[in-house]
A and B are shown apart, each in its own frame.
Chain A
Amino acid sequence: MKFYEFEAKQLLRKHGIPLVRGEVAETAKAAKKIAAEIDGPVILKAQVIAPGLTATSVREASDPAEAKAAAAELLEIDDGGRKPKGVLVEARPSGPTYSLSFTYDGTAKLPVIAGSDLAGKIDDIGDEHPNRIVRRHFSALFPFSDYIAKELVRSMGFGGGDLNRMTRIVSGLARLFLKYDLADLDITSLVKLDDGSFVLRDVEADLEIEARHRQRPMLDELGFAKDDLRQVREPTEFELEGARIDAEDPRGIISPIAEFDGNIGLVIGAGGGSLTLTDAVRKHGGRPANYAAIGGNPSVDKARRLTKLVLSKPGVDKVAVMSNVVSNTRADLVARGVIKAIVEMGYEPADKILIFRVPGAWEADAAKILKKYGIEYCDRTVSISEAARRAVEKAG
């Protein structure tokens, strides 16, 4: 879950990490005031979540009037259906610039710090200048010890007073990274000022989504709303209804649900199966209307409501009901739910179901139910690829 930059900085500032001067403004007028206080050239950053906005969400301004005009425009940016959460107005000191990155290395299974004498995202720097990056793993099991930061800082080429100042910053960040369950913390620019001190200029931070409950006190302090998952775009009405259906019945899971712009309704599962099935439909030229991931053992009613939701989506005429070979999901309950939805909507199930391929638990019962409505039950001998091909062909 992405933090807005001003939130990340608020958290770091509270723990004594040196940062550039600046504040978040909710109006253009406030931006002007902050720029006047900084009294010099400023940078303005729209506080946004959606990826791909980097170029459009940042402006430079040389005086308060310019800052006001820039802020007014930045506040109008479309952030995946949201307004920006204000504009961060900051001083832009220059000097030698470095970058730091904290993340988990899935290969070593350890947290890792990377440092570079270039500014930017470590992954981008790695593409062009891999020899300008140094790395140091650390431990999530043992307490962080300063020497780990010192070793990294030394290998970045620092010595003398710089080494000690940077070690303090890196140690502090590493401890906060662990303490607050961050998944990624990128200091994309860190500047050495004329007086020899270092300040962080640009910060990106991501919270481990699975830790959002235990990090609630910190999130509350930042004013991070409970239901705010910082998705790249605002959920649609279709997606919200899907989430409601999932939440209202604890039996089985039907999430995540996402809306696409195609015509083939997908009642599909499970985690990996849904990814594979969505690809397979597209591979055969089909355009999925949605994403769904049925998991666990959903009730008849949950399957019914999901099917209704998908079939009610404008532009959707038929549904494909498919999954990988299931262990716990009962194929017969899914079949009952899907048929019930279609009958309730006043249609013939055979006209609305492109394919039913849910092999595994209770498959004989599922086949029996479907047969009654003239629908062929595809068992495990029909591959996912073949099932998707047939569905797309039938959808026309």
Chain B
Amino acid sequence: MAVIVHKDFQFIVQGITGREALNFTRECLEYGSKIIGGVTPGKGGREVYGVSVYDTVREITERERVDGTVITVPLAFAPDAAFEAIDAGIKEIVIITEGIPRKDASAVVEYAALRGARVIGPNCLGVITPDVCRFGSLGGPAVDCRKAFKPGVVGVMSRSGGMTTEICNALTLSGLGVSTAISIGGDPVIGSTYADLIPLFEADEDTRAVVVYSEPGGTAEAELARWTQENNSRLPIVAFVAGRFMDEMPGMSFGHAGTVVNKKVDSPADKMRRMREAGISVAEEIGDIPDLVRERIGN
């Protein structure tokens, strides 16, 4: 089992000829992912590491099953690329592109919902089920990626791409390993929040606990706390809230676009309180996460 991806998961890369896309396309192929095409308008007919490049998404979806797409096109073209993928019938859409205004992100996500598609991101690195499929750019070069992500029992959701790898690496070192990890994105409006995705982990028999990495800003943690209280989940959740120093610096923004404390609900202190009240274990230190997971799953 796996979450979102599976062993026959086939995806495409929109913006495949970009610098970053070239890197992760190679890395994904080396990892064993099935990338069955790429799209860059005006570059149809080329090849990238053996992957054919097309001008439009439909040229691929008309001849093959496409389960997902990774979008890394430049900012100004990102919403259009997402609409194109949604209209071509693709159901799992990872948007890596950073800096998309929330109005555009909201429009894309609403359109996806109308067409039964799911958006991960924007401003994320995608999804990985270790040794099954890497869908996006998590973990860097395949050799490094394999070091950090070993199959196991913990699902991971993170607002930071880098910290997804950091936490998975710690879980791998501790022997717990990772069932599926999802970099959900650091923007104020993202397609899939913790609460949207946790039912998928709930249904995944490999997952025995979930680790959540969070940051200041937004209501996603409050929403997760509410979900946990309202649903009789079998899964223990361990959360870590970074950026606690920002509680003393109202209005300052560090890191991701979504990371700003303007309202009470934005503050790490408020997030930690809500999650604790909902029975989520909140790690005081990042290094405490594996032990807390073990404690919660009685292992």
Map CB proximity to B onto A135-150 as digits: 1 under 8 Å, 0 otherwise: 0000111000000000
Interface flag for A197 (CB, 8 Å): no
Q: How many residues of B contact A (CB 8 A)?
A: 73
A82 to chain B, nearest CB (A): 14
Interface flag for A30 (CB, 8 Å): no
* Among candidates B147, B161, B264, residue contacting A380 with C-beta atoms closer than 8 Å: B147
Tell whether, in the assembled complex, residue B162 and residue A141 are in contact, meaning their CB atoms are under 8 Å apart.
Answer: no
A279 to chain B, nearest CB (A): 5
Q: How far is the CA of A107 from the CA of B194 in the complex (A)?
A: 10
- Interface centre among A283, A324, A359, by most B CB within 10 Å? A324
Map CB proximity to A onto B139-168 as digits: 1 under 8 Å, 0 otherwise: 111001101100000000011111101100
A142 to chain B, nearest CB (A): 8
Interface flag for B188 (CB, 8 Å): yes
Residues of A within 8 Å of B107, CB to CB, are 139-141
The segment out of B37-45, B54-62, B282-290 that lies at the interface is B282-290
Residues of A within 8 Å of B258, CB to CB, are 106
Interface flag for B103 (CB, 8 Å): yes
Q: How far is the CA of A147 from the CA of B209 in the complex (A)?
A: 45
Interface flag for A270 (CB, 8 Å): yes
B15 to chain A, nearest CB (A): 17
Tell whether, in the assembled complex, residue A361 and residue B103 are in contact, meaning their CB atoms are under 8 Å apart.
Answer: no
Interface flag for A14 (CB, 8 Å): no
Residues of A within 8 Å of B53, CB to CB, are none
Interface flag for B213 (CB, 8 Å): yes
Tell whether, in the assembled complex, residue B106 and residue A110 are in contact, meaning their CB atoms are under 8 Å apart.
Answer: yes
Question: B residues 205-260 with Cβ under 8 Å of A?
Answer: 213, 215, 218-220, 223, 240, 242-246, 249-259
Total number of residue pairs linking A and B with CB closer than 8 Å: 188
Tell whether, in the assembled complex, residue A141 and residue B286 are in contact, meaning their CB atoms are under 8 Å apart.
Answer: no
Question: A residues 310-365 with Cβ under 8 Å of B?
Answer: 323-328, 359-361
Residues of A within 8 Å of B173, CB to CB, are 380-381
Residues of A within 8 Å of B68, CB to CB, are none
B266 to chain A, nearest CB (A): 10
Q: How far is the CA of A93 from the CA of B155 in the complex (A)?
A: 57
Interface flag for B130 (CB, 8 Å): no
Tell whether, in the assembled complex, residue B251 and residue A276 are in contact, meaning their CB atoms are under 8 Å apart.
Answer: no
Tell whether, in the assembled complex, residue B285 and residue A280 are in contact, meaning their CB atoms are under 8 Å apart.
Answer: yes
Q: A140-B107, A208-B103, A327-B140 in contact; A380/B255 too (CB < 8 A)?
A: no
A280 to chain B, nearest CB (A): 7
Least CB separation from B164: chain A residue: A272
Residues of B within 8 Å of A240, CB to CB, are none
Tell whether, in the assembled complex, residue A325 and residue B166 are in contact, meaning their CB atoms are under 8 Å apart.
Answer: yes
- Interface centre among A139, A214, A384, by most B CB within 10 Å? A384
Least CB separation from A381: chain B residue: B173
Residues of A within 8 Å of B110, CB to CB, are 109-110, 139-141
Q: How far is the CA of A325 from the CA of B144 in the complex (A)?
A: 9
Residues of B within 8 Å of A381, CB to CB, are 173
Q: How far is the CA of A210 from the CA of B213 in the complex (A)?
A: 24
B135 to chain A, nearest CB (A): 15
Q: How far is the CA of A262 from the CA of B46 in the complex (A)?
A: 54
The segment out of B1-9, B28-36, B94-102, B273-281 that lies at the interface is B94-102
B251 to chain A, nearest CB (A): 4
Map CB proximity to A onto B78-99 as digits: 1 under 8 Å, 0 otherwise: 0000000000000000000001
Interface flag for A81 (CB, 8 Å): no
Interface flag for A99 (CB, 8 Å): no
- Interface centre among A178, A323, A385, by most B CB within 10 Å? A385
- Interface centre among B104, B189, B190, B258, by most A CB within 10 Å? B189
Tell whether, in the assembled complex, residue A384 and residue B166 are in contact, meaning their CB atoms are under 8 Å apart.
Answer: yes
Tell whether, in the assembled complex, residue B255 and residue A256 are in contact, meaning their CB atoms are under 8 Å apart.
Answer: yes
Map CB proximity to B onto A180-222 as digits: 1 under 8 Å, 0 otherwise: 0101100000000000000000000000111100100000000
- Chain A contact-residue range equals 35 or more
- Interface centre among A269, A280, A323, by most B CB within 10 Å? A280
B230 to chain A, nearest CB (A): 13
Residues of A within 8 Å of B169, CB to CB, are 325, 359, 380
Interface flag for B197 (CB, 8 Å): no
Q: A232-B250, A325-B165 in contact; A271/B186 too (CB < 8 A)?
A: yes
Residues of A within 8 Å of B163, CB to CB, are 272-273, 276, 324
Tell whether, in the assembled complex, residue B242 and residue A275 are in contact, meaning their CB atoms are under 8 Å apart.
Answer: yes
Residues of B within 8 Å of A359, CB to CB, are 169
Residues of B within 8 Å of A273, CB to CB, are 160, 162-163, 166
Interface flag for B170 (CB, 8 Å): yes
Least CB separation from B223: chain A residue: A107
B257 to chain A, nearest CB (A): 6
Map CB proximity to B onto A377-396 as digits: 1 under 8 Å, 0 otherwise: 00011011110000000000
- Taking Cβ atoms with an 8 Å cutoff, the residues of B that contact A are 23, 99-107, 109-111, 125, 137-141, 144-145, 147-148, 158-163, 165-166, 169-170, 173, 186, 188-191, 193, 195, 213, 215, 218-220, 223, 240, 242-246, 249-259, 262-265, 284-288
The list of the 5 closest CB pairs from A to B, nearest first, reads: A272-B160, A327-B140, A385-B287, A324-B166, A272-B163
Listed A/B pairs (16) with beta-carbon separation below 8 Å: A104-B106, A105-B219, A106-B220, A107-B223, A127-B264, A139-B110, A140-B104, A140-B106, A271-B186, A272-B242, A273-B163, A275-B255, A276-B166, A293-B255, A324-B165, A385-B286
